Amino acid sequence: MTKIARFIIWICSKFTRVEIEGIIRGLVEVLANGNPEVKPRDDFQEKHPNYRKFSVDPLPPLTSPLTVKTAAPACDYKELLVRYQETHGKPLSQVKYRSGLPALPGPICLSLLQ
């Protein structure tokens, strides 16, 4: 048995027919917003208590113009290999491809990468 059914049985056992009709009229008036003093419980407000409770920051987040990072200077791959050998004490080994995987294509056009 639901809560509403138990509540209806309780009302019927405690009140007379005339009193129940008065209760129904009062509930209809509340649902029609005829009685501003009584507000029905807002289920949405209980499930989402912080809905529409926000504030706007007093200052905008970006107060100065964005700075563009400059790209690192391009290095020659031979310089990078020499630098790696100096820091690690051994030459950089080649990439070992796994068998069964497709090989890389020949020379790749730089315009495709940009």
Using one digit for the tens of pLDDT, what is the confidence trace for 6-50? 988 999 999 999 999 999 998 888 888 777 777 767 777 778 888
Please say if the pLDDT value at position 97 is more than 50.
Answer: yes
Query: Which pair of tokens denotes residue 86?
Result: 């100096």
d(CA 79, CA 50): 59
Predicted pLDDT of residue 114: 37
Please say if the pLDDT value at position 111 is more than 50.
Answer: no
Backbone angles phi and psi of 51, in degrees to 5: -65, 130
CA distances from 1 to 5, 9, 14, 43, 98 (A): 6, 11, 19, 22, 68
User: Residues of the chain with pLDDT > 70: what percent?
Assistant: 85
Predicted pLDDT of residue 40: 67
Predicted pLDDT of residue 110: 42
